[in-house]
Chains A and B, each alone.
Chain A
Amino acid sequence: MAEAVSVAADSLTGGRARAAPTVLNQVVLPGEELLLPEQEDVEGPGGGGERPLRLNAGTRSRVRVVCGPGLRRSGDRLLVTKCGRLRHKEPSSGSGGGGGVYWVDSQQKRYVPVKGDHVIGIVTAKSGDIFKVDVGGSEPASLSYLAFEGATKRNRPNVQVGDLIYGQFVVANKDMEPEMVCIDSCGRANGMGVIGHDGLLFKVTLGLIRKLLAPDCEIIQEVGKLYPLEIVFGMNGRIWVKAKTIQQTLILANILEACEHMTADQRKQIFSRLAES
């Protein structure tokens, strides 16, 4: 019976269900089904073929697996919803997933609000006690005037239409209007709030933002050596840069935009040329 079910599932997905560990760092496509390693253990060497995951079938203790962006749980199957490379992170002691985290590293420009993301938004309207903030999603986010550090009913924050806001999502799901705040859970700003009035805002792909924010990113380290500068990255693909002069600001913006598709050697060349000038 179980075999029949698995065969049916295979035929539904065109027989493409692959084991997740074997396709690590390979391209996966939307609609594909992935098998988690635990299932293979059950089958063992004698079992032969892999079956779609039946997590509740086994009585032995299972490890929890976190599926990140680009993957979706459907019942007890793991489906791909974005095209890109499949990535995996081994579980750390702090995170909840005992089986690690799987996600799809995809290239896209359209931002979809996610709870907890830090983004740069533009205030588009002031209505009563909330601001409407454009974050690049399908719908503007709402931001309460009380969600700033030190704000009270009497003491309103000085936010004008057109201001740039660095904030965090507290509500973001597919059914509701996203909501931003500019304070953390302790009520402190922690760098969130209105960003300065000058500087330059530009948009890049979401993949580049993640690349630049990676802990061992060479680009940012190199850029930091060039000029004194301040920079803000929003997970929604917006970057705000400010340097001492307009010329330097423009140079930095151009570098950051261009470095997405450059090799390490090309980058080195450009940075050495800039350091000379």
Chain B
Amino acid sequence: MAAERKTKLSKNLLRMKFMQRGLDSETKKQLEEEEKKIIGEEHWYLDLPALTEKESFIIEEQSFLLCEDLLYGRMSFRGFNPEVEKLMLQMNSKNKAEVVEDETEEADVSDEEMARRYETLVGTIGKKFAKKRDRANYEEDENGDVKPIKTKKMFLKPQD
């Protein structure tokens, strides 16, 4: 009964993944062979002698980059664009690692300007941390800068 049933199963069904477990090794081999045959028949090829490309010893290259050791195309000097300057060093150091010039870059903001800036900053930040009552003590001068006014609080005797 069981054997009869087995023969009834079609080949396509037997080939399915979940049927593979129950198959014995013989039928498995058979199926594999059949599959190989089908694939082999479907493959086609040109009946030509194999093309042998002659190995060439001249290599064509149309880029000047390989010929002349050209630098990277973006440049910045004297601190105009610090980002590009950093990039320049990085890209050009690939070619020659030994030359790393230590040029002192001219800063965008001079020291004097910086000092002036921080001077006013003292007031601005100071205002932020001051209590509401004290905030009136910070008042803007003619430059728009905020400066603390130092007024000593003391007892004022009421006038009679």
Contacts and interface: CB of A to CB of B under 8 A. Distances in A.
B56 A55 contact: yes
B66 A215 contact: no
Q: What range describes how many residues of B lie at the interface?
A: 35 or more
Interface in A195-232: 210, 213-215, 217, 220, 223-225, 227-232
A117 interface: yes
Contacts, number: 137
Contact of A73 (B56, B63, B79): B56
B58 A67 contact: yes
A253 B99 CA distance: 28
Contacts of B61: 66-69, 101
Interface string B54-79: 11111111111111111111111111
Contacts of A215: 69-71, 92, 95-96
Contact of A191 (B60, B63, B72, B96): B72
A224 B66 contact: no
A71 B77 CA distance: 36
Contact of B67 (A63, A87, A243): A87
A69 B87 contact: no
A234 to B, nearest CB: 7
B27 interface: no
A69 B70 contact: no
B76 A233 contact: no
Interface of A: 36, 55-56, 62-69, 71-73, 76, 78, 87, 89, 95-97, 101, 103, 112, 114-118, 166, 190-191, 210, 213-215, 217, 220, 223-225, 227-235, 242-244
18 contacts: A66-B58, A66-B61, A69-B64, A73-B59, A76-B57, A89-B67, A101-B66, A103-B67, A213-B73, A214-B70, A215-B70, A215-B71, A220-B75, A224-B75, A230-B75, A230-B80, A232-B74, A233-B74
Those 7 A-B pairs whose CB atoms lie nearest each other, nearest first: A224-B77, A228-B78, A228-B80, A233-B73, A213-B70, A73-B58, A68-B67
Interface of B: 54-81, 84, 87, 91-92, 95-96, 106
Given A223-B77, A233-B74, 18 more contacts: A55-B58, A65-B59, A67-B58, A67-B61, A68-B61, A68-B67, A69-B61, A73-B56, A103-B67, A220-B75, A224-B75, A224-B77, A227-B77, A228-B77, A230-B81, A232-B74, A235-B64, A235-B73
